[in-house]
Chains A and B, each alone.
Chain A
Amino acid sequence: ILNVEQSPQSLHVQEGDSTNFTCSFPSSNFYALHWYRWETAKSPEALFVMTLNGDEKKKGRISATLNTKEGYSYLYIKGSQPEDSATYLCASSNYGQNFVFGPGTRLSVLP
């Protein structure tokens, strides 16, 4: 069973600050790394899927990078806004399409 870890566990930033989180995952049998945004009382929503070492994805003020050789991914938020407050999950999937999620990073953006 894969073990996916995320840090920090929680984070409080001021509106306008930029921030980043880390997701680490085992490299063995790796197929893809997934990032999700999860607002309270809602379902997780997919942000990015990355498969290749060096992949970079961007959606608005949010971007992500992937390093499969060392087994980590970063999620960046530029100019945080209160509506960015959510839990950010990462998950690693293998070729058998088994997903393992990390525990998440809870972000609070203070106005």
Chain B
Amino acid sequence: EDQVTQSPEALRLQEGESSSLNCSYTVSGLRGLFWYRQDPGKGPEFLFTLYSAGEEKEKERLKATLTKKESFLHITAPKPEDSATYLCAVQAQGDYKLSFGAGTTVTVRA
């Protein structure tokens, strides 16, 4: 069974204080690892898909990296609007289902 573990559970940052979120996973043949942002009371918003170890993707202040066992979401110089829950999910080869981690709730104070 696919397993996704995210840490830390919560992260409080000062504006401009860079940090990283971790997503550890076990899956029988990874097809893709997904990062989503979820605001309270809303559906997940797609951020990145990573397909192979060594791959990196960037979007504004966010950068996602992937190894064979984990993924990191780096937040550089965060702003209060980056406050959200960040979800990691994996998809096994040949499967359409996503297995989600519990998320990391990031709070950025001005």
Q: Do A and B bind each other?
A: no
